[in-house]
Chain A
């Protein structure tokens, strides 16, 4: 079982960071990865850069708790969850979720679950700078709350 959870200020090489999730494990039959990128537009305004703030300590706990939950729900052979903080520019990878399993179904579901939970449970905040020199906090999206709620276990 390969597992890596990390928050970093350095640029994220999402493709290179994906390989270790399956390297040297011949039981892996499929890898699903999600790479979240910074976009050049938000709410119709051109965005030049963005600064990601987080809650050091809690962030790592929250990310590990999400990975634990995924490991409890699906049979996985590897998980890598890496998130950028600090200043990013359009096209920069912000987050990588890479999941390996014996068969594709588990990896697809676990990957989507992890990013959906991260969006509503991990303490990161984005402040964006538009090209006309203004700066504003990015608002949370109701659709993200809905996506996470879709994974809640029915009792």
Chain B
């Protein structure tokens, strides 16, 4: 099982702040492909030109990062603090 969190404009577009998946995809890239395959706004967000950042267990992660059961994955747009 993995926990997925969505923030800011992504949360609004996707219509939810979090969800859990029972099956854990192998990598961040595989998870993104799985989400994009839902179609509609999901494919626009995860398959389109929008720049989406990923954190695994609250640290920025590359697409190839391996996922493990129990991980927390956060998806969000480029940050705008400060």
Chain A contact residues, CB within 8 Å of chain B: 36, 52-55, 57-58, 61-62, 83, 94-95, 115, 118-127, 137-140
CB pair B80 A124 closer than 8 Å: yes
Assuming A53-B8, A58-B74, A137-B8, is B79 touching A125 (CB within 8 A)?
yes
10 new A-B contacts at CB < 8 Å, known A122-B81, A140-B79:
A36-B82, A53-B8, A55-B74, A95-B81, A121-B79, A123-B74, A125-B8, A125-B76, A125-B80, A126-B81
The 9 lowest CB-CB distance pairs between A and B, nearest first, are A124-B81, A140-B78, A58-B58, A125-B8, A119-B82, A137-B9, A138-B80, A126-B80, A118-B82
1/0 per residue, CB under 8 A from A, across B37-53: the answer is 00000000000000000
Q: Chain B residues near A120 (CB, 8 Å)?
A: 78-79
CB pair B8 A127 closer than 8 Å: yes
CB distance from A115 to the nearest CB of B (A): 6
Q: Chain A residues near B8 (CB, 8 Å)?
A: 53, 125, 127, 137
Can you list 17 pairs linking A and B with CB atoms under 8 Å apart? A52-B81, A54-B81, A55-B5, A55-B74, A94-B82, A119-B81, A121-B79, A122-B79, A123-B76, A123-B81, A124-B79, A125-B76, A125-B81, A126-B80, A137-B77, A139-B78, A140-B77
